[in-house]
Amino acid sequence: MLDNFLKNIQTLPFRWRVVLLDTLLVPAAWLLGYWLRFNMAEVPAVFLAQAINVLPYVVGVQLCSYAWFGVHRGEWRFVSLPDLSLLIKSVLFGVLMVALALFFVVRLEQIPRSVFVLYGMILAAAMASLRMGYRLLKDKHFASRTVGKKVLIVGAGAAGEQLVRDLRRNFPELYNIVAFVDDDEAKVGSDIHRIPIANTIDGLGALVERWSIDLVLIAIPSASDEEMQRIIDLCGQADVAYRTLPGVHELLTGKVGITDMRDVRIEDLLGRDPVTLDWQSISHNIESKVVLITGAGGSIGSELCRQIAAVGPKELVLYEQSEYNLYAIQEELVENFPELELHCVLGDICDAALVVHVFKKHTPGAVFHAAAYKHVPLLEGQVREAVKNNILGTRNIVNAAISCNAESFLLISTDKAVNPSSLMGACKRAAEMYCQAVADKTKTRVLTVRFGNVLGSAGSVVPKFIKQIKKGGPVTVTDPEMTRYFMTITEACQLILQASAVGEDGRIYVLDMGEPVRMAYLAEQLIKLHGKTPGVDVEITYTGLRPGEKLEEELFYADEQLTDTDFEKLLLAASRNINQDAVLEDIANLVDQICEAELFVDSKDLRVVLNRLVPEYASS
């Protein structure tokens, strides 16, 4: 009979078994309180009889107290101090209610007052002990710590402590957490969950060697790019594998959890503090409006599509020359934003008739011009196409935006437009100048945003380096001293949206790209992130500057003094004085000359006009 009873209990859900156990603890604690009251001797019959008579009231009232405080909603496996505090409150409340109930039922006759105190202490201690014992057992707190990979955790803060608990709970056989390191010297020498904080981060290499550490876990979600660079360098010097927690933003938004360790990405080394945006102004500039994006299938254009679609425009018009890119972003938006009214236009921005037709048909209120040819060395020998697409294509789009009375037009430019040494940069500078020239002649706000390289964009250097590393090298860098500005696609697009929302007419805005990064350093870090040693596993070779390239890029001209705006990382470049009429005349000459047949084979005349339009290109 007892066997059947135990089998039936085992079939119950865990929570109901907990309720049953806590219920059985009530009479046990009640009767044990009497035993202790009478000095652990035999309880007088009259008192024992009364104790048994009132027992149903004690059990019933205590169970109601459990239910009121939600004691059984907590998981034993994750019990913590707040759970124990709640448990003690429920027991104390139950004791008071039991005493009050028995006062009205039996006037507390033959019930010693000290029994209530003893009963409460015994019940609380028993319930807390069972829960803590269960958690310790599950966490294998007393188990041997000689199995699994030997792990060193960088960061003895809240994230590091939670990481230890979760790893022990979810992966007890995989990781043997040996020690912490932390830059807070006051913490060194203390323990977290019996794991020593052995040294500062600078001592990481010595600990790796002393304890033969297999893996370093970086548990500092808020680490800056400089901090991450320092930690990664130390791991590289110690020749140990490393992984990191997601960033604070990813953790707070719930996209990932504390145990979602990942490989360190190049963004972690070049990253910035989170961008602070005025989403209210951005939403006001986009929602309930028709928004048109050129180059909608490119790296910047497609990310703009995603972020703008999330805000909720009235319509979103995608203008793209590549059939596949247009198809890909269309499929993604349809899947993720099924309520969005989406229009896809397969076409060339140089097709003036199509541009005019599209703008007349949809009359966009906000236009983002991301379409451009951008590969510097390739364009050096393609004068006609570079001028036609990057200058005349821009002219077509901004003129169409003005003709349909769009509220805003934003040109996405580049740092290569500053003192350009390349044809691509000169064309983008000419496009900037044209937008400045027409800005005063229209009610449409015509803006320009200028920034440097975007991590991970199509054809950018990072994917190229990664491809070379996977092939075993060599990684080709043009010059050991070459530097570039970098920003993530997401951050760049967010700042573009902010500039479009708050920018003033005719202004050029520059994104704060942080400090420039040496390309040789970038190559070395990418090789390390793939678990290889630069110069040993993968060679780095220097090939020399390619046509049109500079060692260092600039984000603004010397006479374009940068001033802060209300938004961090969005800077205003004081507009250079230009002869608007001369600019418009030179652009018109480009239009005339590019239509002449001989320019298909001879680009000298185009260069003459371009050099007159952007004289710093000629001097460089």
The pLDDT tens digits for 490-544 are: 778 888 888 888 777 667 877 777 777 788 888 887 787 676 778 888 888 988 8
d(CA 201, CA 91): 45
Residues near 233 by Cβ (< 8 Å), separated by ≥ 6?
A: none
- Identify any residues that bridge with 369 across adjacent strands, giving them in sequence order: 294, 411
Q: Is the pLDDT of residue 66 over 90?
A: no
Taking only the tens place, the pLDDT of each residue in 261-288 is: 555 555 555 545 555 566 777 777 788 8
Percentage with pLDDT > 70 across the chain = 80
Q: In the 8-state DSSP scheme, what is residue 367? A: E
Place of tokens 């057992």: 137
Q: Give pLDDT, residue 471.
A: 86
Listed in sequence order, the residues at least 6 apart from 424 whose beta carbon sits closer than 8 Å to its beta carbon are 373, 374, 375, 376, 379, 386, 390, 414, 416, 548
Structure tokens at 281: 């102004």
Q: What is the pLDDT of residue 277?
A: 63
pLDDT digit string (tens) for 189-225? 777 877 888 888 888 888 888 888 888 888 887 777 6
Mean pLDDT calculated for residue range 579-585: 70
For 380, phi and psi rounded to 5 degrees? Answer: -55, -35
Q: What is the mean pLDDT of the chain?
A: 80
Q: Are strands 445-451 and 408-414 parallel, antiparallel or unpaired?
A: parallel
Q: Is 407 helix (H, G, I), strand (E, B) or coil?
A: coil
The single-letter code of the amino acid at 162 is Q
Q: Does 183 score more than 50 pLDDT?
A: yes
- Supply the pTM of this predicted model: 0.61
Sequence-separated contacts (24+) of 271-277 with Cβ below 8 Å: 271/224, 271/225, 271/228, 271/247, 271/488, 272/225, 272/487, 272/491, 272/514, 272/569, 273/224, 274/248, 274/249, 275/491, 275/494, 275/495, 275/568, 275/569, 276/567, 276/568, 277/494, 277/497, 277/498, 277/567
Higher local confidence (pLDDT), 265 or 289: 289
Confidence of residue 144 (pLDDT cuts 50, 70, 90): very low
Reduce the DSSP state of residue 25 to 3 states and report it: helix
Evaluate the omega torsion of the peptide bond into residue 474 and state whether it is cis, within 30 degrees of 0: yes
CA separation for the pair 536, 473 (Å, rounded): 10
Whole-number Cα distances in Å, 528 to 214, 222, 515, 566: 16, 22, 21, 39
More confident residue, 106 or 148: 106
The per-residue pLDDT for 10 is: 60
Confidence band for 231, pLDDT divided at 50, 70 and 90: confident
Report phi then psi at 530, rounded to 5: -95, 15
Read off the tokens for 178: 């040996």
Predicted confidence at residue 270, as pLDDT, reads: 57
pLDDT tens digits for 306-330? 989 988 899 999 999 999 999 999 9
Confidence of residue 337 (pLDDT cuts 50, 70, 90): very high
Looking at mean pLDDT, say which of 78-87, 307-316, 554-563 comes out highest. Answer: 307-316
Express each pLDDT in 402-461 by its tens digit. Answer: 999 999 999 999 888 888 888 898 899 888 888 888 887 888 998 888 877 777 666 567
pLDDT mean over 458-482: 81
Mean pLDDT score, 69-93: 77
SS3 for 318?
Answer: strand
What share of residues in the chain are helix, strand, coil (percent, to 5)?
50, 15, 35
**Residue 485, helix vs strand vs coil:** coil
Burial class (CB in 10 A: 0-12, 13-18, 19+), 86: middle
Tokens standing for 291?
Answer: 């928004």
Q: What is the pLDDT of residue 419?
A: 85
Distance (Å, whole) CA 228 – CA 595: 53
Kindly write down the DSSP assignment for every residue of 432-457, as one continuous string: HHHHHHHHTTSSSEEEEEEE-EEET-
